[in-house]
Chains A and B, each alone.
Chain A
Amino acid sequence: MRKVWKTVNIVGEKVAKYIDEMGRMLLLLLDTIRWSFSPPFRLDLLFQQMDRVGVRSVLVVVLTGTFTGMVLALQSFHATRGFGAETMVGVAVALSMTRELGPVLTSFMVAGRAGSAMAAEIGTMRITEQIDALFTMAINPVKYLIVPRVLASIVVVPMLTIIADFVGIVGGYFMGVTVLGINAGSYVANMEKYVALDDIYHGVIKALVFGLILSIIGCYKGYTTTGGAVGVGRATTESVVLSAIVILMANYLLTAAMF
């Protein structure tokens, strides 16, 4: 019995800790929203972050999108060949990319590249008192550090997702038509017939939410870093893992709500 209580205690403590952390993250999000609408608006900082989060992630997103599109085409070709539905490969690739894999994989890549960098950078600033220094210079760190990163992510992750969708479809076309020899006309015609603009819009909306999630988690983990260099390492890892989990959960909820 004592062992059971001990286990309940440990699990309860962990759950309470996670709920507490979620609450704090939500408060930081509310603070970020509040400061987003408070002038002066720092476009210079926003563009700087759009460059860091967006422009510098293009290559990795293009590579991920292209190979994902190619492998989707290859897999669905083998699955559909048995009953003569190879011309549906384009549809499978386009729907998978626009609805699911485009936004999810793009967000994973950005969380790994830029979200972790946010946690590391802000975490280092926290442990070396640079954040306290901002306060003493009458500059709010949420406005100066977090608002530009979150806004930039909300803007650029959907853009990167559109790029991933596009290169994924191109990669799928290359694999399906050029390599596997599917008829180009029916490949494209079926895609046009079965893929609606809404599929793309919904994917982009998902990407916007994922951009918000990965950036607020990266910033929160950095902002609350304690424990020196080890703490920065921990914050960085936790930001990527937590972002991935929350993105997958949000993906399910958004899919259930939109499709």
Chain B
Amino acid sequence: MIEIRGLHKSFGALKVLQGVDLHIPLEKTTVILGRSGAGKSVLLKHIIGLMRPDRGKVWINGLDITRLGDKDLNEMRKKFGMLFQEAALFDSMNVEENVAFPLREHTKLSEKDISRIVAQKLEQVGLPGEEKKMPAQLSGGMKRRVGLARALVLDPEIVLFDEPTAGLDPPMAAAIEDLIIETQRKLGRTFVVITHNIHTAFHIAHKIAMLHEGRIIEEGTPRAFRRSSNFVVQVFMSRGEEKEVK
């Protein structure tokens, strides 16, 4: 379980997070929704300890990670997998080396076992037999699949997704959404997804929270979220629908 209380973060005069309170349930997919520049990525970076808050707490399974030192934070990060917006694959390594990287760094598995696990993870994300390709040879969607395979390779308890469908064409975006749903169902892990895409949110979420002006202004199941009386949420949803129609 992830619990965030009173999280504040500013960059100079710019107040990005102004008291975020959020409960992220175990073994479900929670989507944090918000327009571009709302501070979603900043919030995600606080969850994995890449940023330290000015004020507030982040508890992961009862442990306040804002108080952890570098060493403990590193240990805690091993429980996480993260898929970055552009996948952040290491471009000097091929697909196999990218996916195997966390295994080689953190386990003492034999090369044979590593190859077996990598092949299995690539199969899981729908890219069997692509081990030897370099990231430059992959499409945006394929990169994200490889990124997901790398994020899952240590069987993390929590998987974070930073705008997993941004910049993809609609069929590819839908395929990535389906992959997230299927993977979450199969593994039963805690998924946290940030997106500005309302359709992605409704497609994959068990819970949706909306971040606006540094605070969570609405949260609930997709059904409850649709019925929200919050004006900003309504406008966001209607604009999302309009955009989709266009």
The interface of chain A, by Cβ under 8 A from chain B, is: 121, 124-125, 128-130, 132-133, 135-140
List the 4 closest pairs (A to B, CB-CB), nearest first: A133-B88, A129-B88, A138-B77, A136-B82
Chain A's closest residue to B160 (CB) is: A136
Chain A's closest residue to B45 (CB) is: A132
* Binary CB contact string for chain B from 92 to 106 against chain A (1 if under 8 A, 0 otherwise): 100000000110011
**B residues within 8 A CB of A129?**
84-86, 88
* Docked-complex contact A138 and B74, CB < 8 angstroms: yes
Chain B's closest residue to A130 (CB) is: B88
**A residues within 8 A CB of B101?**
137
**A residues within 8 A CB of B77?**
135-138
| Shortest Cβ gap from B238 to chain A (Å) | 32
| Shortest Cβ gap from B46 to chain A (Å) | 13
**A residues within 8 A CB of B89?**
130
Chain A interface SS verdict (over half): helix
Task: Report the Cα distance A124→B92, complex, angstroms.
Answer: 11
Number of interface residues of B (CB under 8 A): 24
**A residues within 8 A CB of B84?**
129, 132-133
Specify which of B70, B91, B105, B160 is in contact with A137 (CB 8 Å cutoff).
B105
| Shortest Cβ gap from A62 to chain B (Å) | 27
Could you name 9 residue pairs across A and B whose Cβ atoms are closer than 8 Å? Answer: A128-B86, A128-B88, A129-B84, A129-B85, A130-B91, A133-B88, A136-B80, A138-B75, A138-B77
Task: Report the Cα distance A8→B91, complex, angstroms.
Answer: 45
Task: Report the Cα distance A143→B189, complex, angstroms.
Answer: 30
Does B68 sit within 8 A of A, measured CB to CB? no
**B residues within 8 A CB of A121?**
92
* Docked-complex contact A138 and B78, CB < 8 angstroms: yes
Task: Report the Cα distance A123→B102, complex, angstroms.
Answer: 22
**A residues within 8 A CB of B160?**
136
**A residues within 8 A CB of B70?**
140
**A residues within 8 A CB of B75?**
138
**A residues within 8 A CB of B74?**
138, 140
Chain B's closest residue to A133 (CB) is: B88
Task: Report the Cα distance A129→B90, complex, angstroms.
Answer: 10
Task: Report the Cα distance A136→B73, complex, angstroms.
Answer: 10
**B residues within 8 A CB of A136?**
48, 50, 77, 80-82, 160
Task: Report the Cα distance A125→B84, complex, angstroms.
Answer: 13
Task: Report the Cα distance A140→B50, complex, angstroms.
Answer: 11
